Chains A and B, each alone.
Chain A
Amino acid sequence: MTGAFVVERWTTASRIGFLVIAFAIVVLVAAPIVLKAGTLDRLTALFIYVMLAAMWNALAGYGGLVSIGQQLFFGLGAYFTVRLADAGLNPFASTIAAALIVAGIAWAMSHFMLQLRGGEFAIGMWVLSELTHLLVNLDRLVQGETGTSLISMNVYDPDNRRIAIYLLAFGIMVALLGALYALLRSKSGAAIQAIRDNEVAATSVGVDVLKTKRILFVLAAFGIGLAGALWLCSALTFQPKTYFSVQWTAYMIFMVLVGGIGKFEGAILGALLFFTIETWFGGTGVWYLIGLGLAAVVFSLFFPKGIWGAIEQRFGITLLPIGYRLKIIGGAE
């Protein structure tokens, strides 16, 4: 074997990828000037889906923590927003503050939830979510399943409010994706990837597995809390049943499994697919849900790497490089 290697992170595809992303950001920020109200609302929903998928992927795809209870953070994010706004805080500021509280709760929770393994963690989170749902129901403001709404939003003009929420959701989505991307490329990122590939081996080379998992757990809770808060801003009404529904986790699982678990681009692709499918088939109700469940079964059995995993394997493309590539220069074997 002759020749030499260079270690590189960027490929031509990924450079093009970055240009495309920069362009997309500019277009989406300017979009409210031309788009109709309904379209803006749908795009806001898309941004929230991307956040949910990216955060569940961070947890399961990188941390190896499959949770069926992420609706816990979605519901809590919305709940604390209502609570803080009711106490007089500006509703937009409430979303951020609520997510910070959610992150704090997640940090406390992580101390014993992260000791659970595999399926126990998955369903333990679900139990915790049910418990939190029941506790939130006890709040007089919420009035059980009757719910309440984000009244203080009414001071804003509906059109301006819609654009503000759209921009806020977009900004938060970009910030969350950016934060996750930075985390994965940082020193902890190497640890995270090591854990994803082989937890036992990672421990033996000195990776602090628990600390790394905790970072991902809290980040995911924070991001999903924000998503719940934003959903509330857009929908205005808070009914605990809708927010603490396991359906949200089902959506996250669908997006990540189909897109490509453990792939940064996969979660985004999954969210786009889910959004498209929802737009086309969401009206078919039950069959639509059956389709989502079936997709989860089929992908987990036959394509556990998802669509992006297949694309990467087939064409060797990485748009957002996280790892490094070995490139052989000179003659090979």
Chain B
Amino acid sequence: MLSNLIQAVFLGGYYAMVACGLSFMFSVMRIINLAHGSLAILSAYLLYVLAQKFNINPFLGLLIVVPVMATLGWILQRYLLDRSAKGGELLPVLTTFGIAIVLDNLMFQRFGADTRSLAPYIGDLSWASYALPGGLFVGKLQILVLMTVIVVIGALQLFLKKTQLGRSIRATAMDPDTAGLVGIDAKRATAAATAIAMATVALAGAFLGMRATFEPYSGTPQLLAAFEATVIGGIGSLWGTLAGGIILAIAQTLGASVHPQGFLLGGHLAFLIVLFFRLHRNRDAILTWLRVRTA
């Protein structure tokens, strides 16, 4: 059981890695990017092609894929999302869903239905593990993923807090009109934010490919897990997203121990329970506020 719990925490770290870009974009631009999962799969395929065709180790490959994805994010925001966000909060949902369909099927067209993995290209890292006292084993890759997500979230927080671009992004999120009056190029700020989110997506895709297998339509489960982790952790908080990812993974592990098909069920149920409680708490808060106001 303890061993399962430890595994769940590491799995949660991976979920947080997938989710932090989604969470970041949502808190900054109020856009839920439905192509998020598909973009992670795209990164995994890019790394796969680099490894298979050009013999580039996936870790080195990230030196290419991270900038490529960041550029893609910049373009995505500048030429598509900015435009659709002007039409209200619903249009970006439709635009990004369309992008997801296009990406999934283009990848299917190019790579076929076979499942791929990056595991063969990273030496013994995919299976090597450390022995802990008490007969427990922890995979090296798992530790790497968890460490990476902690570093990434910490770096993102520092960036938002300490740099002028980070402050500009936060200010734009709060009030884009005033941001412009202060001298902030709001479009540049949101494009930079999406570029950063996509850089984390590249990392997520890399880890997905190293940990497991993927195929062109693997984006959907990634998106849903990322979304669940984001909501469970509380929207707008990156450390919350990490906690959310871990809670999600623990719920899945518990579900799996109850029923053989309970893994995903457990996760979805945890998501709904958190959502339910949050909505109720909000409603009470609003009611109290109204009562105070009208009293």
* Chain A residues within 8 Å of B, Cβ to Cβ: 60, 64, 66, 68, 112, 115-120, 122-124, 126-128, 130-131, 134-135, 137-138, 144, 246, 250, 253, 257, 286-287, 289-290, 292-297, 300-301, 304
CB pair A123 B227 closer than 8 Å: yes
Question: Across chains A and B, which 9 residue pairs bring their CB atoms closest together, nearest first?
Answer: A293-B101, A296-B98, A119-B32, A297-B98, A293-B102, A131-B268, A118-B89, A300-B94, A289-B105
| Cβ–Cβ < 8 Å partners of A64 in chain B | 90
- A135→B99 CA distance, assembly (Å): 29
CB pair B224 A294 closer than 8 Å: no
CB pair A253 B97 closer than 8 Å: yes
CB pair B264 A134 closer than 8 Å: yes
8 other contacts beyond A68-B93, A297-B80, with CB at 8 A cut-off?
A119-B30, A119-B31, A124-B275, A287-B105, A290-B101, A293-B99, A300-B84, A300-B94
Q: For residue B87, which residue of chain A has the nearest CB?
A: A304
A257-B94 in contact given A119-B26, A123-B34, A138-B261 (Cβ < 8 Å): yes
| Cβ–Cβ < 8 Å partners of A124 in chain B | 231, 275
Label chain A's interface by main secondary structure. helix
| Cβ–Cβ < 8 Å partners of A135 in chain B | 265
| Cβ–Cβ < 8 Å partners of A119 in chain B | 26, 30-32, 34, 89, 92-93
5 A–B contacts, CB within 8 A, in A order: A66-B90, A122-B34, A246-B220, A297-B102, A301-B95
| Cβ–Cβ < 8 Å partners of B91 in chain A | 300-301, 304
For the complex formed, measure the closest distance between the CB of A307 and the CB atoms of chain B, giving whole angstroms: 16
Q: For residue A137, which residue of chain B has the nearest CB?
A: B261
* Chain B residues within 8 Å of A, Cβ to Cβ: 26, 30-32, 34, 80, 83-84, 87, 89-95, 97-102, 105-106, 108-109, 220, 223-224, 227-228, 231, 235, 259, 261, 264-265, 268-269, 271-272, 275-276, 279, 282-283
| Cβ–Cβ < 8 Å partners of B90 in chain A | 60, 64, 66, 118
For the complex formed, measure the closest distance between the CB of B77 and the CB atoms of chain A, giving whole angstroms: 13
CB pair B98 A112 closer than 8 Å: no
For the complex formed, measure the closest distance between the CB of B111 and the CB atoms of chain A, giving whole angstroms: 11
CB pair A134 B101 closer than 8 Å: no
Total CB contacts across the A-B interface at under 8 A: 120
A131-B106 in contact given A118-B90, A120-B231, A297-B95 (Cβ < 8 Å): no
- A128→B269 CA distance, assembly (Å): 9
- A137→B262 CA distance, assembly (Å): 11
Checking A66, A115, A297 against B283 with a beta-carbon cut-off of 8 angstroms, the contacting residue is A115
For the complex formed, measure the closest distance between the CB of B220 and the CB atoms of chain A, giving whole angstroms: 7
For the complex formed, measure the closest distance between the CB of B236 and the CB atoms of chain A, giving whole angstroms: 12
| Cβ–Cβ < 8 Å partners of A290 in chain B | 101-102, 105-106, 109
For the complex formed, measure the closest distance between the CB of A75 and the CB atoms of chain B, giving whole angstroms: 15
CB pair A296 B261 closer than 8 Å: no
Q: For residue B32, which residue of chain A has the nearest CB?
A: A119
| Cβ–Cβ < 8 Å partners of B89 in chain A | 117-119
| Cβ–Cβ < 8 Å partners of B271 in chain A | 127
CB pair B268 A301 closer than 8 Å: no
Checking A60, A112, A137, A289 against B101 with a beta-carbon cut-off of 8 angstroms, the contacting residue is A289
For the complex formed, measure the closest distance between the CB of A289 and the CB atoms of chain B, giving whole angstroms: 4
| Cβ–Cβ < 8 Å partners of B95 in chain A | 296-297, 300-301
A134-B268 in contact given A123-B224, A286-B109, A294-B102 (Cβ < 8 Å): yes
- A287→B231 CA distance, assembly (Å): 34
| Cβ–Cβ < 8 Å partners of A60 in chain B | 90
- A257→B238 CA distance, assembly (Å): 34
CB pair A134 B265 closer than 8 Å: yes
CB pair A127 B102 closer than 8 Å: no
- A119→B226 CA distance, assembly (Å): 14
